[in-house]
Structure 1
């Protein structure tokens, strides 16, 4: 048994993390206390940690690892499950996307050749600023679409009322 310095209770040796600093090879605080302090710290500094996580996810070796994983069988299965869950969770958004795709296919909606923001002639994304108006679409290139989402928040309809 080891006494936790934080909660001051005696706990079994397995309830402590390994440490090279102490003679007994265990940390001075139990796993439960350390986890609680880590959660409280993250909650207190959530903006900092969100930015840290965002920057970390965009490191070149992590982007490369994600792309490699997406090519594996497990990655493809995981992506398919995530897409299916998204469609089930947001049926109105899916209906809006389908309506636009069908309208473009049938010639009822014109897809321009240039981005509405930067005027580049590249592959375009149909972007809904307001999902309550499914045929009101902005045509943006990938970088402009991402920038729009960083700077704005789309108007989401009440999914439960429309489902």
Structure 2
């Protein structure tokens, strides 16, 4: 009974056998529990077919204390709060501490911009699929009747 309670990993081995090219997705699923720190809270919104927004609650942070870095397939948001040694808190209920929040981005997702509004850091993202990767219909070329008739005439001679 303890073994079942202790086991939290999901076995994705059967999916590896029947899928091709999804290794990265399975790795993400297996490592999803690594980011155990749930602070600061955030939302991910889908605004349109190819547009998204990440909203992170960063109340108490100034623009100068926040940095956003777009690395290879990774968006890193860093909040560095300086310690105020002169302040004497009688009660500190606001969790204003430094943080690093990482978001794994899909291929061809770009960061369009970011703004700080009402205590929320809003980061706009857009997926731009290159033209050569968009689906397109391939025309099927049929053999023309004229070419077929020439071939038959050549056989008679």
| TM class by smaller structure | under 0.3
Between 1 and 2, higher relative CO (CA 8 Å, sep ≥ 6) is seen in 2
Structure with the largest fraction of strand: 2
